[in-house]
Amino acid sequence: MNVRFFTIPVVLMCVLSCAPDTARTNEDPTGGPPEWSSVEEAWNRRANSIDALHGWGIAELRWLDEDGSSHMEQGELDLWYEAPGRLAIRISKFGETYLVYGSNGIHDWLYTNQEEELLKWPSGQEVNFILTDTDILLVSLGLRRLPAGSGQVTGTWSRSYNAWEFDVEGISGSSMKWWIAEGDEYPSRMGITRAGHDVMMWEDQSRAKMVRLPGIPVLACPNLPGSITLLSRNGETEVSRTLVVFQGLTVDVEDQPMDRVFDVDVMEAGLKPRSVRMLGNEPVQQPQDSKQ
């Protein structure tokens, strides 16, 4: 099984396309860095305002397989979230499910229709897959609450990215770097090293999506990333790029299948995979005639 291909597109989620990097202007700041306490307060105020979310749009996946050949797929994306840490993602093509990822705090799971295998593992278990860390996925979406004192007190100026650079701890098993442009509240770029891969996440801030909250004036409603790019490198080799563009984000989930997308048993019954495997165990083969 090609693990890299299956896990990287999730971020899809988790944590981007081939546009040039326009941030490298090598300018100097006009003022000092933002105080981390203010960054943390603004971030958590936004994250705490959203208890449930449904997002829909498109996902473009580019990756290298084990033979070094490049591939590209595009599909329709649905994302569901329930605070504080339940996340489910589905990518479909022509009405058929192509990829499913989910985490309900007890189990995480991953399915692709190419392998027709459902992988399951306990939430929080250390795995060698890239970007199957729900906390990282949620922080790239602006939904993960930050623990108190998670960042360095004072940022340092990065001329490479024309932004203030902060080290951020406590989000996952590895520290992250955030780059916050001068005058901004939120990072436009994040970086992390996991499983031997360097992963960069950045957003197109011109595509930010306002999330309407009931009873809240429009100007006070939060903005979430509307376009996220995720780039993974192994040394100098670019392993994958994933671009997610949200067409809509809403907290109105009354008509959404929230009880099903976070239930791995219900997902298994609906997907009817040819095999089911708990990581560390051998696959459990299903009868051939169980596929419809």
Q: How far is it, in rounded angstroms, from Cα 41 to Cα 48?
A: 10
What b-and-e string marks burial along 44-82, b requiring 16 or more CB atoms within 10 Å of the CB? bebbeebebbbbebebbbbbbeeeeeeeebebbbbbbbb
β-pairing, 275-278 vs 117-122, is parallel
Nearest 10 degrees: Cα torsion 124, 129, 131, 136: 20
* Predicted TM-score of the model (pTM): 0.86
pLDDT digits (tens, 9 = 90+) for 229-251: 999 888 888 888 999 999 999 99
Residues of the chain scoring pLDDT < 50 = 1-23, 285-292
178, 170 in Cβ contact below 8 A? no
- Check: CB of residue 170 under 8 Å from CB of residue 159: no
Please answer whether residues 56 and 247 qualify as being in contact, where contact means their C-beta atoms are separated by less than 8 angstroms: yes
- In the prediction, which pLDDT does 106 show? 93
With a CB cutoff of 8 Å and minimum separation 6, the contacts of 291 are 116, 272, 274
Kindly provide the residue ranges of all beta strands, DSSP E only, lying in 113-204, ordered along the sequence.
Answer: 117-122, 156-158, 163-168, 176-180, 189-194, 197-203
Tens of pLDDT along 180-221?
999 999 999 999 987 778 999 999 989 999 999 999 999 999
Q: Given the structure tokens 């192509």, which residue do they identify?
A: 98
H helices within 93-206, ranges in order? 134-141
Domains of the chain, each with CATH number or no CATH: 3-17+25-290 (2.50.20.10)
The DSSP result for 270-285, as a single string, is HH--SEEEETTS--EE
pLDDT reported for residue 108: 93
Instruction: Give CA–CA dist 5/62, Å, rounded.
Output: 9
